[in-house]
Amino acid sequence: MSKLEDLIEPFLTNTLSSPLVYDTTYKGVVTGLAFTTGDITVDFGNGVYNDHHYHYGYWVTASAILKKLDPSWSGMAQLETMVWTLLRDVANPNSDDAYFPKFRHFSWYLGHSYSHGVTPMADGKDQESTSEDVNFYYGMMLWGKTVNQAVEDLGSLMLRLNARAVRTYFLMTSDNTIHPPQFVPNHVTGIFFDNKADYATWFSAEKYCIHGIQMIPVSPINGLVRTTTFIQEEWDDILSKEAIVTGSDTTNAWLSLLLVNEAAINPADALSKLVTTAMDDGLTRSWALYIAASHRTESRLATSTCASPLCAAEFTTDDQVCLNPSWSSS
């Protein structure tokens, strides 16, 4: 617990190397480096509202875990203020909020978020790391579980809708009819623009990166979108043939992500290699081994939840949802 609290402390006191500031133009919380350097690309473009649902999901999820495990922590009141602020920045349901827009990143029509912010793009807005998107709404649901039923319900609803969209549009099994048949064997869309799908990343042409970016952070909720069928096909057709896998390149940290994923279908092989493989810088070996050893796909949310009438009705299938969002608890 002390290690987690120490890691959260700089976020709590806003003493990170790139502190957060409030932007009055677009009404949101951004990292300050874009203003001090004049470079809108720093921090992945956070200053122009790129990737907020990716970046802030880590803080929200970690904070929810801390609040569950140590609710009496001395910094909890201040932490709550910070988390509520980030939630309002990304997924604010209140159209009367004078400081943040309503649902900045999430498209209720499409069922998924956009990662691109306010700068123009020739092919329209895009989404890349679906797993980080899922992580935000998972964290939102967990945070609500500790403090507010309506927030838990809204987070659960957005998580379910998002997961369905990811399984439909972003992670392709061989029976996918949404994309052209010659594109489906890629199994992941890469960068999903409004006007095209580009089997690529913003930072690397390596296939293990194109696929690995859809696996971070390693989390039990990834099983909600990464089905056994998908993992098996992706592994057999793409990942098992990658040089870092065939050559067991244990110095390449991306291999750790691929192996945790492989554990869903080949647990013995994956676990034996995870013991010595270099870890991704956002992943500890103990967590990787734990998730790999307890792998579950097709994760289900609680099937007996009674949702607040002010927020959402939660059903046992992903096809049935309704919404009347509010931060208010019933």
Report the candidate in 161, 109, 136 with the shortest Cα–Cα distance to residue 51: 136
Please name the amino acid found at residue 282: G
CA–CA separation, 81 and 113 (whole Å): 24
CA–CA separation, 194 and 120 (whole Å): 12
**Cβ neighbours of residue 77 closer than 8 Å, sequence gap 6 or more:** none
Write the DSSP assignment of 220-244 as a string of letters.
Answer: GGGGGTS-HHHHHHHHHHTGGGSHH
Chain mean position to CA 89: 15
| Alpha helix stretches (DSSP H) within 14-100 | 33-37, 52-69, 76-91
CA–CA separation, 286 and 291 (whole Å): 9
**Coil, strand, or helix at residue 157?**
helix
CA–CA separation, 255 and 218 (whole Å): 13
In the chain, the DSSP E strands lie at 20-23, 28-31, 106-107, 112-113, 126-127, 191-193, 197-198, 312-314, 321-323
CA–CA separation, 231 and 296 (whole Å): 12
Q: Is 132 part of the annotated catalytic residue set? A: yes
The long-range contacts involving 13-16, CB below 8 angstroms and separated by at least 24 positions, are: 14/82
> Which candidate in 89, 126, 132, 242 is catalytic?
132
> Which candidate in 89, 128, 233, 314 is catalytic?
128
Report the candidate in 93, 91, 19 with the shortest Cα–Cα distance to residue 53: 91
Neighbour count for residue 228 (Cβ, 10 Å): 14
Active-site residue list: 51, 128, 132
